[in-house]
């Protein structure tokens, strides 16, 4: 009995129960065998089973045979649990036997590999995406230039509103030819200003209107190209804008300009690419352009290139001619006499008079004359001006009010008279109109016969006159006229009911029309000059032309050499993203491998 209750060898109760069950089964089989051999009578079988030989061993055999019957019975639940436990144990042994082989096959399913592999795959995928985005953006930037962000402080690579209006109105096929190799545009410059602005603006025009195309010609490699334009001075950097009507050539100085202040010695650098290109496109597509003729042959004291350039880029046709030997160019609407140092002959005065009083031409016409202090007496020209109600002195005006001059008392700020004569109906505010070294102009009458006089500009009330040669100043102060106009009208020209004007406009200041004041955005001289010429030609509508506003480029936000720019671009946009990604990948890998 003690052997039945106490587990042997540290076996669990369940294991002991399983062994007891097996022993009982064997004993039952032995009893069945014994019963089959002793088939004589059931009584003999029972007697043989109950009384074995040997009185000492019989009780022990009886005890062993009957012990299972007298001991605890194994329930079906316990038996089932024992079988399940044995089955699980067998499965564990098989799993342990196969574990090394399975581990070798499933190494890629390990936690470390999963985290490290995912990080590597993510990093590689991200690098590929960045490269693809860079390629796509580069392609789109070339195809659609407007997608490129203009990071310049002055927005010199962006179309202005006036330029957009011009580009949108183009209906003729228009070709913009840039005389430079396309692959070297970025390396070209003028006075430190990048020539790439020209390509950027031209490409954006072409993108906006399909009638505009851009092409590049290396004039050094294709010298025969210049033979198509024998009357033009073509050079590397020039731009040709052409339609079936006409072509316009922009020199490098039309696109960029340098202005020097002869008092301070400082130079200012300007870009007028946007306005110059838009104006050239507008001119090439315009049916007609007003002709402004600059008279020569009398030692003109005024340098007119800046004024001619301004007019050319704003839809006027500037030409030059010799007043004594040439006829006045056909269709001329304005004759400019820029401070002559010698007097006009009687024959030349007759030409001017015929030009202004020609009643057969249906157009406005104007004579525009500038003067300068200490200029020689011009008796014939002075007599002619007196007929139009004006007399010009040779003294110089100086300003005593420091708030009404710029830098020097002779650089006076004039007030405009916009009550009687309005050049531009849309705006009469020009800001500061600076008139350096101006002479006073006296009106001889307000109106006589068919001529009326108008004061267009005058000084403040505290000005005085001084001798330009000796510097001697007068004690008397007052207001003086600086721009005066004589005007007459024609009607019934060729049976037309339209009124046409003949104007004689005299400016006492010659320097106000030079580059220092025309190109400076601080003064209103440029816009006033353009509006005056539009009024003089009768083309005051807003569609006449494009206002070319030079953009000063001196103030640079960042100063870098070309070498530095290249390395900055490579470092920031090429190597830096790759380095950042590699560092991120290493950090992720180190973190994951310790999970």
DSSP one-letter string for 20-62: HHHHHHHHHHHHHHHHHH--S-HHHHHHHHH--S-TTTHHHHH
Taking only the tens place, the pLDDT of each residue in 509-525 is: 999 999 889 988 789 99
Radius of gyration of the chain (CA): 53
Percent of the chain residues past pLDDT 70, beyond the cut = 71
Beta partners for residue 268, in sequence order: 259
Beta partners for residue 433, in sequence order: 414
The first and second tokens of residue 405, run together, are 């001059």
Maximum mean pLDDT: which of 22-26, 73-77, 295-299? 295-299
DSSP one-letter string for 551-586: EE----S----HHHHHHHHHIIIIIHHHHHHHHHHH
| Mean pLDDT of the region 404-410 | 91
Tell me the C-alpha distance between 550 and 164, whole Å.
Answer: 17
* pLDDT score of 416: 94
Beta partners for residue 415, in sequence order: 458
In this structure, the number of other CB atoms found within 10 A of the CB of residue 221 comes to 8
Residue 156 pLDDT grade (very low, low, confident, very high; cuts 50, 70, 90): low
* pLDDT score of 186: 80
3-state secondary structure of 265: coil
* pLDDT score of 218: 94
**Angle of CA points 280, 510, 268, to nearest 5°:** 60
Residue 276 pLDDT grade (very low, low, confident, very high; cuts 50, 70, 90): confident
In this structure, the number of other CB atoms found within 10 A of the CB of residue 223 comes to 10
Taking only the tens place, the pLDDT of each residue in 439-486 is: 999 999 999 989 999 999 999 999 999 999 898 999 999 999 999 999
| Mean pLDDT of the region 430-445 | 95
* pLDDT score of 534: 93
Taking only the tens place, the pLDDT of each residue in 92-140 is: 777 666 655 444 545 555 565 555 666 677 777 778 887 877 777 666 5
Tell me the C-alpha distance between 160 and 54, whole Å.
Answer: 132
The answer on pLDDT for 359 being more than 70 is yes
DSSP one-letter string for 188-242: -EETTEETHHHHHHHHHHHHH-TTEEEEE--TTT-GGGGGG-TTS---TT-EEEE
> Judging by beta carbons within 10 Å of its beta carbon (0-12, 13-18, 19+), is residue 347 exposed, middle or buried?
exposed
The full set of domains in the chain, from first to last, is 2-74 (no CATH), 291-538 (3.40.50.880)
Contact 174, 213 (CB under 8 A): yes
pTM above 0.75?
Answer: no
């Amino acid at each position: 009995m003690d052997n039945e209750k106490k587990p042997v060898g540290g076996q669990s109760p369940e294991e002991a129960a399983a062994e007891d069950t097996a022993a009982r089964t064997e004993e039952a089989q032995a009893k069945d065998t014994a019963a089959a051999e002793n088939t004589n009578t059931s009584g003999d079988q029972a007697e043989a089973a109950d009384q074995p030989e040997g009185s000492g061993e019989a009780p022990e055999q009886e005890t062993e045979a009957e012990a299972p019957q007298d001991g605890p019975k194994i329930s079906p639940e316990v038996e089932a649990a024992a079988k399940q436990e044995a089955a699980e144990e067998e499965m564990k042994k098989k799993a342990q036997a196969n574990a090394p082989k399975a581990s070798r096959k499933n190494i890629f399913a390990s936690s470390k590999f999963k985290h490290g592999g995912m990080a590597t795959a993510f990093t590689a995928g991200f690098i590929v995406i960045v490269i693809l985005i860079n390629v796509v953006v580069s392609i789109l930037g070339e195809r659609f230039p407007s997608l490129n962000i203009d990071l310049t402080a002055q927005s010199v690579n962006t179309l202005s509103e006036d330029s957009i209006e011009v580009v949108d109105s183009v209906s003729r096929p228009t070709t913009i030819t840039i005389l430079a190799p396309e692959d070297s545009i970025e390396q070209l410059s003028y006075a430190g200003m990048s020539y790439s602005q020209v390509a950027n603006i031209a490409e954006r025009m072409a993108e906006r209107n399909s009638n505009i195309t851009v092409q590049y010609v290396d004039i050094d490699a294709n010298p025969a190209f210049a033979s198509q334009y024998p009357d033009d001075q073509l050079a590397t950097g020039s731009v040709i804008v052409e339609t079936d009507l006409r072509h316009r050539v922009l020199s490098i100085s039309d696109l960029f300009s340098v202005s020097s202040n002869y008092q301070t010695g400082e130079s200012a650098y300007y870009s007028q690419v946007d306005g110059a290109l838009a104006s050239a496109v507008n001119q090439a597509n315009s049916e007609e352009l007003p002709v402004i003729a600059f008279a020569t042959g009398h030692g003109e004291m005024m340098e007119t290139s800046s004024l001619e350039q301004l007019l050319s880029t704003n839809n006027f046709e500037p030409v030059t001619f010799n007043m004594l030997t040439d006829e006045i160019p056909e269709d001329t609407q304005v004759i400019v006499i820029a401070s002559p140092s010698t007097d006009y002959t009687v024959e030349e005065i007759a030409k001017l008079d015929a030009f202004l009083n020609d009643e057969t031409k249906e157009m406005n016409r104007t004579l525009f004359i500038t003067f300068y202090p200490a200029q020689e007496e011009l008796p014939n020209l002075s007599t002619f001006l007196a007929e139009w109600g004006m007399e010009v002195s040779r003294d110089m005006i100086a300003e005593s009010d420091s708030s009404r001059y710029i830098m020097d008392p002779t650089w006076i700020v004039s007030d405009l008279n916009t009550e009687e004569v309005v050049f531009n109906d849309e705006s009469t505010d020009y800001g500061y109109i600076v008139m350096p070294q101006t002479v006073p102009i006296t009106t001889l009458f307000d109106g006589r016969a068919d001529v009326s006089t108008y004061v267009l500009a005058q000084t403040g009330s505290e000005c005085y006159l001084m001798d330009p040669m000796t510097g001697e100043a007068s004690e008397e102060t007052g207001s003086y006229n600086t721009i005066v106009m004589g005007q007459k009208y024609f009607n019934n020209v060729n049976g037309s009911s339209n009124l046409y004007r003949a104007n004689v406009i005299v400016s006492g200041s010659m320097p106000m029309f030079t580059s220092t004041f025309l190109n400076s955005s601080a003064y209103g001289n440029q816009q006033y000059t353009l509006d005056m010429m539009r009024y003089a030609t009768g083309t005051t509508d807003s569609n006449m032309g494009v206002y070319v506003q030079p953009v000063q480029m001196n103030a640079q936000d960042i100063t870098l050499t070309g070498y530095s720019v290249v390395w900055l671009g490579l470092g920031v946009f090429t190597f830096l993203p790759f380095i950042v990604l590699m560092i991120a990948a290493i950090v992720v890998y180190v973190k994951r491998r310790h999970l």
